[in-house]
Structure 1
């Protein structure tokens, strides 16, 4: 009989020691030296120094040049902020995408941009027989998705070029955007219309409409969307049927929940 090993048996000692260093800093002890860390962790000074050098190189630790002691670096704040942002965004988004699914009759999602990919944080699937399945947990190329293009549309050209250094782009279907030039043109249309469109670019016979979500900083931190069979995303339904308005209302509602206040005269 094969016995399932506990996860603790797979831990890597050096990684564990690096985390021990990070966890040594507290509100009352925000700076520590190599000698003090060596004593606390029971590690040789050389080992502590190498671990600190690695963490400093990656931005998780920084050295006070005056005292030569070490303290937590900006990267730890960044990681913590992402965790808080994602958890709060998902919690606030849940009732809003539930309502969006109920009003639209289509699968509703919320996603965030990470690099040139999007991560689907949550999804509420419609109970219609023919439907787009949930993408929750999926990481997909941003340029192939409506939620991704809702994020990318506000970025300057220089940032798009950084995210996509090659002129050609990877395709998921025959209808995917295949060049950076075409992506830029699509993003321009996204800004002009106020929402992003995905037309069989990620999955054949599946489309999506997305709008950006802003927080108190007025930065876009997420996007909400509906994902549905393209046969149900006809122009008449989008505009006259109120589908676009429903998605935009959901985006505004989530933005408000996250502290966004629109400038006077804007929504």
Structure 2
């Protein structure tokens, strides 16, 4: 018996509602009916009804001042539930809290998605007035973040070569944009077991990261400590933070079933 294509079961109105939500995945925080109508190639009346339905369920809310629409609190709740179900985050929480307390710096865990890396959960120190707040849920580049380099360094050689474009984007004066130089650094990361980003993506922010593995022995995430550059010089990384993060990475990997 032939299996029917699942597209036969698509409900058009539901698809349009999801199309509306996906318009907010980009840089626009708020969008109006006219802009959404243009983007979706739908009549304004249809767009308005879709927005009204989503607003009634809490997935969209209207800014009364601008009359534009933005994502509602239900989207946050749904996203949080997704994250809660991921074993990586559940297991990471107590470890992140412990690192933040010991290092007096922010700690966070991230995963790779497509061609970027996404921080999922963080813990911040209680005793710092100036502290780094990781951009939870934001896609960050692989080549100039410690959490990204922790993934790249342990990719198979063919996959690594395919992951790196010939022209690497510059974000700060410290960003490494020479492919050969970055590859050399990644080989050092694989040797040392940890990666460093010293103001390469966020200016004046340094971070140290390690890969996280699970029972499949695959790298499934990365764990990092981050703080202002003036608090994280090279000698502190080498003698204090790197050993701390490496040990935390081992513990988290062990909790996920990895056995060295």
Class of the TM-score when normalised by the shorter of the 2 chains: 0.5 to 0.7
Tell me which residue corresponds to 1:92. Answer: 91
SS at structure 1 position matched to 2:86? helix
The residue correspondences of 1:104-253 to structure 2 (distance < 5 A) are 104-127=103-126, 128-164=128-164, 166-240=165-239, 242-253=240-251
Could you report, residue by residue, the CA deviation over 1:89-143 in whole angstroms, capped at 9, with x for unpaired residues?
Answer: 1111011101010010000010011232100011112231122222211210011
SS at structure 2 position matched to 1:216? coil
Q: Which runs of 4+ in 1 moved over 4 A?
A: 14-17, 83-86
Bigger Cα Rg = 1
* Residue 85 to residue 142, structure 1, CA distance change in 2 (3 Å): farther
CA shift at 1:182, angstroms? 2.1
CA shift at 1:205, angstroms? 0.7
RMSD between aligned residues: 2.4
Could you report, residue by residue, the CA deviation over 1:45-99 in whole angstroms, capped at 9, with x for unpaired residues?
Answer: xxxxxxxxxxxxxxxxxxxxxxxxxxxxxxxxxxxxxx69971111110111010
Contact persistence 2:104–2:125 (CA under 8 A): yes
Counterpart among 231, 236, 257 of residue 255 in structure 2:
257
Structure 1 runs not aligned, ≥5 long = 1-10, 20-82, 263-267
Contact persistence 1:146–1:198 (CA under 8 A): yes
Quote the Cα distance in structure 2 between the aligned partners of 1:167 and 1:222. Answer: 25
SS at structure 2 position matched to 1:129? coil
How many residues were matched structurally?
Answer: 186
Structure 2 runs not aligned, ≥5 long = 1-9, 19-81
Quote the Cα distance in structure 1 between the aligned partners of 2:201 and 2:85. Answer: 24
Quote the Cα distance in structure 1 between the aligned partners of 2:178 and 2:13. Answer: 42
